[in-house]
Amino acid sequence: MNTSANSLSELRIAGVVTPLGPFGFSTREDGWMLGFHVNPWRLLDGPLNFTELRVTKPMPMEQIDAAKAGLAATSVVSLLIRDLEPTERGTHIARLEEVAVLNTSDHEMEAAAAELRLPVALHTETLGMLRLDRRINIFEGEVTYLGRSVQLSIPAVHNSSEVDAGALSVAIQLVANLSHVDRAATQFAASRLTQLKNDSWLEENENDVSEREFQQRLVLAVIEAEADGGISLFYDDGNLFFGHSIDVRGVVTGEFYEASISG
């Protein structure tokens, strides 16, 4: 075994790749990186650790897709890592040295992986059926508003398959008052973005748009609720900004502080 100074921080662990799966990203300091999370994980022969571990490795961009192939979502993997450290959020980070196949069956880890593959659905009286997207830890559903389907997003409790009770309460309040909140959100967006439309986004031979017309062209597509009372409403822009989404952020009582173009 190599006993150099660098090897002293190397550890062999087993873990379950989270449903998000592996991904590539770039940083100014390290360039392109492979990244993924494991949860649960453990030092070999140690107890299961149910805190999220983010693992990264610098590599050329053209090698990332091949590296991702061995790290399928919800698969059980053996990893050689170094520089394992806790974070202020109660999670961990580490650098990847290599990925290997487990030589023996790990029944506890396999059971944890199997549980992550199970669908999670929650039936609510007011919001209907909500289904958990484990990749992003969000419960998703649909509500009908003005004859159209609107997507609803509510966060799950971190490292859990349970809906965040505070966010669920906010979502129920939001949907119950959606007409009022929608009207306030579109008025706010119009007051903030109409001038931008007329200054920079008019098509050839298109007349200036009034705030009233701006508001009327917005179509609600997605609503998101947070436990702290925060909400986001995403609108189809009615071709005001060539098909971009308009994101309006505020609180569930109908006060808003930000309107922006996204997508």
Tens digits of per-residue pLDDT, 203-226? 888 899 999 999 999 999 999 999
Helix-, strand-, coil-residue percentages of the chain, each rounded to 5: 25, 40, 35
Query: Could you write out the DSSP letters of every residue in 172-228?
Result: HHHHHTHHHHHHHHHHHHHHHHHHHHHHH-PPTTPPPPPHHHHHHH-EEEEEEE-TT
Q: What percent of the chain has pLDDT over 70?
A: 95
CA–CA–CA angle 251, 256, 257 (5° rounding):
115
CA distances from 84 to 18, 78, 90, 117, 182 (A): 18, 15, 13, 27, 46
Q: Give, for all 263 residues of the chain, the pLDDT tens digit.
A: 343 344 448 999 999 999 999 999 998 888 999 999 999 999 988 999 999 999 999 999 999 999 999 899 999 999 999 999 999 989 999 999 999 866 668 899 999 999 999 999 999 999 999 999 999 999 999 999 999 999 999 999 987 899 999 999 999 999 999 999 999 999 999 999 999 999 999 988 889 999 999 999 999 999 999 999 999 999 999 999 999 999 999 999 999 999 999 97
Distance CA 63, CA 61 (A): 5
pLDDT at 7: 44
pLDDT at 196: 96
pLDDT at 106: 86
pLDDT at 5: 40
pTM of the model: 0.83
CA–CA–CA angle 88, 258, 224 (5° rounding):
65
Residue pair 39/159 in contact (Cβ under 8 Å)? The answer is yes
Identify the sign of the CA torsion 172, 177, 181, 183.
positive
Within the chain, how many helices (H) and strands (E) appear? 5, 14
pLDDT at 101: 66
pLDDT at 103: 62
Between the two ends of the chain, the Cα-to-Cα distance in Å is 51
Tens digits of per-residue pLDDT, 61-90? 999 999 999 899 999 999 999 999 999 989
Pairing between β-strand 138-145 and β-strand 148-155 as defined by DSSP bridges? antiparallel
Name the residue ranges covered by the structural domains of the chain: 6-113, 121-262
CATH of 6-113, one of 2.40.50.140, 3.30.70.1140, 2.30.40.10, 3.30.70.20: 2.40.50.140
Closest CA to 35 of 27, 44, 24: 24
